[in-house]
Chains A and B, each alone.
Chain A
Amino acid sequence: MKFTEEHEWLRVEGDLVVVGITAHAAEQLGDIVFVELPEAGATVSRDDEVVVIESVKAASDILAPLDGEIVEVNEALPDNPGQVNDDPLGEAWFFKMKIEDMGALDDFMDEAAYEKFIG
């Protein structure tokens, strides 16, 4: 699993990259009450705001970690936003994307580096 400085996790699943937010991010945000996902099939560029999440405290955006295509979104999440707090690294993935060069993932932090990053 890889991690971005925006507190997203990236997991390779076949030829796709699954994207979610870290437990640290979920804890910092507080209880998540709203999730708005992109359309499957959307072409996105790195740092596009693709997901809106709102906690009891504030709204925030999830950015596309890389250029690519959103091929699947977690349809269950908008009806059960609290899952982001309950199981951020598992059930509460946001979307799966297809990227051109899987090698680009090497530039992101591994778990040890992320742990250090969040101090």
Chain B
Amino acid sequence: MSDSRRTALYDLHLELGARMVPFAGYAMPVNYPMGVMKEHLHCRAAAGLFDVSHMGQVVLRAKSGDVADAARALEALVPVDLLGLQPGRQRYAIFSDDKGGILDDLMVARRCDDLLLVVNAACKEADIAYLRAQLADTCEIEEIADRGLLALQGPEAERVFQALAPGAAAMRFMDVAVLDSDFGPLWVSRSGYTGEDGFEISVTNEHAADLARALLADEAVEPIGLGARDSLRLEAGLCLYGSDLDTGTTPVEAGLSWAIQKVRRAGGARAGGFPGAERILNELEKGPRRLRVGLRPEGRAPMRAGTPLYVSETGGEPVGMVSSGGFGPTVGGPVAMGYVALDLAGNGRTVWGELRGKRLPVKVSALPFVKQTYKR
């Protein structure tokens, strides 16, 4: 791990007793002394603080100075309505490729003068190179390297954060704002990756550790590592790029059709015009070959990514595969997501997952596994 990059919170993680692991080129906390299970439950019961500074923050500015030109330019790379995204709002998007697969998933925030993109750590270098190659004629692309990113998630997040950043409580789910604080101007979005209400907070590296300490000073807040981040997002039915999404998966197969607004679909004012449009629009109309579904293994055994799924207890070829899975502490049992042939994708349907040579029943289930508590 000696050659791993460090976030501005590295020393704080060590001080808090984190177990550090290499992740996407960074030394990151996988858990703290509390442990994955208790961290997960604490986040849903009170509030959890996550260091997500490894993620990429990228500002896209139109050379014309008009943010609408940046939105228009970026629409060529994503099947999402960005011209219709109001200032102060954020939207989920994916970079599609020529075959309709997914290069990365990301958040796009429309600010006054530019767009702020938050992309996955493991993809950020490729994403930035791609943006530069595709959009350099019309846009300036700036990687924000002098800011860290924290997430404060859970039912106590609003109370805790409002005390440090007045104005936070007035924000709604997927709002973005710049809030003044003792830690400099914070770029805040009311969003997250847990299914809970909460905030993602971009703060200068200089102030990041002080902000984290101030948040942790509230007794409701505990630090949460990547382990619980994964089980929280899994219970919330949220995709992990590289597991649930990849270049071999279309957004329609992934159950992300909701992210493709009408204006970009067949018959819309700006239909198509993104990579892989032919396949994606066709799947929107006729249905995909397979679909991402929630899966509830019936026993206690977790079914992890790669577990093959069958239509019956014996014989036959696999009809799908688990894309992410594990134990859901809030659910109190194993939970998973995976891809199955479309005719098996109905909730309540039983399929069979093969673990250690034995097939065990799995119920196709609605996502998310826990109730989302976003402040809409």
Q: Could you list which residues of chain A lie within 8 angstroms of chain B, going by C-beta atoms?
A: 30-31, 33-34, 36, 52, 54, 56-59, 78, 81-82, 85
8 Å CB contact of B329 from A56, A57, A81, A85: A56
Assuming the contacts A56-B37, A56-B231, A56-B329, asked whether A34 and B356 have C-beta atoms less than 8 A apart, the reply is: no
In Å, the complex CA distance between A85 and B38 comes to 13
B304 within 8 A of A: yes
A94 to chain B minimum Cβ distance, whole angstroms, is 16
Chain A residues whose C-beta falls within 8 Å of the C-beta of B300 in the assembled complex = 33-34, 78, 81
B84 to chain A minimum Cβ distance, whole angstroms, is 41
For the side of the interface on B, what is the size category?
10 to 19
B227 within 8 A of A: yes
Is the Cβ of A30 less than 8 Å from the Cβ of B301? no
Instruction: Please report which residues of chain B, range 25-42, place their CB below 8 angstroms from some CB of chain A when the two chains form the complex.
Output: 30-31, 35-38, 40
B327 within 8 A of A: yes
A99 to chain B minimum Cβ distance, whole angstroms, is 25
Q: Beyond the given A78-B300, A85-B35, please list 20 additional residue pairs across the A-B interface where CB-CB is below 8 A.
A: A30-B31, A30-B227, A31-B37, A31-B38, A33-B37, A33-B300, A33-B302, A33-B334, A34-B327, A36-B301, A52-B301, A56-B36, A56-B40, A56-B227, A56-B231, A56-B327, A57-B227, A58-B304, A81-B300, A82-B37
Chain A residue with minimal CB distance to B356?
A: A52
A53 to chain B minimum Cβ distance, whole angstroms, is 11
A2 to chain B minimum Cβ distance, whole angstroms, is 28
In Å, the complex CA distance between A58 and B35 comes to 14
Chain A residue with minimal CB distance to B327?
A: A33
Chain B residues whose C-beta falls within 8 Å of the C-beta of A36 in the assembled complex = 301
A4 to chain B minimum Cβ distance, whole angstroms, is 22
B223 within 8 A of A: no
Is the Cβ of A54 less than 8 Å from the Cβ of B327? yes
B352 to chain A minimum Cβ distance, whole angstroms, is 17
Could you write out 21 A-B pairs with CB less than 8 Å apart? A30-B35, A30-B37, A31-B35, A31-B36, A31-B37, A31-B38, A33-B300, A33-B302, A33-B327, A34-B300, A34-B301, A34-B334, A36-B301, A52-B356, A54-B301, A54-B327, A56-B35, A56-B36, A56-B329, A57-B30, A57-B227
A52 to chain B minimum Cβ distance, whole angstroms, is 7
In Å, the complex CA distance between A59 and B307 comes to 13
B326 within 8 A of A: yes
Chain B residues whose C-beta falls within 8 Å of the C-beta of A57 in the assembled complex = 30, 36, 227
Chain A residues whose C-beta falls within 8 Å of the C-beta of B227 in the assembled complex = 30, 56-57
In Å, the complex CA distance between A34 and B299 comes to 10
Chain B residues whose C-beta falls within 8 Å of the C-beta of A82 in the assembled complex = 37
In Å, the complex CA distance between A58 and B38 comes to 17
A60 to chain B minimum Cβ distance, whole angstroms, is 12
What is the 8 Å Cβ interface bit string for chain B, positions 29-69, against chain A (1 contact, 0 not)?
01100011110100000000000000000000000000000
Chain B residues whose C-beta falls within 8 Å of the C-beta of A59 in the assembled complex = 302, 304
In Å, the complex CA distance between A31 and B39 comes to 11
In Å, the complex CA distance between A34 and B30 comes to 20
Instruction: Please report which residues of chain B, range 275-331, place their CB below 8 angstroms from some CB of chain A when the two chains form the complex.
Output: 300-302, 304, 326-327, 329
Chain A residues whose C-beta falls within 8 Å of the C-beta of B304 in the assembled complex = 58-59
In Å, the complex CA distance between A78 and B333 comes to 12
Chain B residues whose C-beta falls within 8 Å of the C-beta of A85 in the assembled complex = 35
Chain A residues whose C-beta falls within 8 Å of the C-beta of B301 in the assembled complex = 34, 36, 52, 54
In Å, the complex CA distance between A78 and B300 comes to 8
Is the Cβ of A30 less than 8 Å from the Cβ of B36? yes
Chain B residue with minimal CB distance to A81?
A: B300
B305 to chain A minimum Cβ distance, whole angstroms, is 11
B227 to chain A minimum Cβ distance, whole angstroms, is 6
Chain B residue with minimal CB distance to A30?
A: B36
In Å, the complex CA distance between A5 and B301 comes to 26
Chain A residue with minimal CB distance to B30?
A: A57
Chain B residue with minimal CB distance to A78?
A: B300
A72 to chain B minimum Cβ distance, whole angstroms, is 21
B299 to chain A minimum Cβ distance, whole angstroms, is 9
Chain A residues whose C-beta falls within 8 Å of the C-beta of B327 in the assembled complex = 33-34, 54, 56
Chain B residue with minimal CB distance to A28?
A: B19
Chain B residues whose C-beta falls within 8 Å of the C-beta of A56 in the assembled complex = 35-37, 40, 227, 231, 326-327, 329
In Å, the complex CA distance between A81 and B332 comes to 12
B18 to chain A minimum Cβ distance, whole angstroms, is 13
Chain B residues whose C-beta falls within 8 Å of the C-beta of A54 in the assembled complex = 301-302, 327
In Å, the complex CA distance between A34 and B227 comes to 17
Chain B residues whose C-beta falls within 8 Å of the C-beta of A33 in the assembled complex = 37, 300, 302, 327, 334
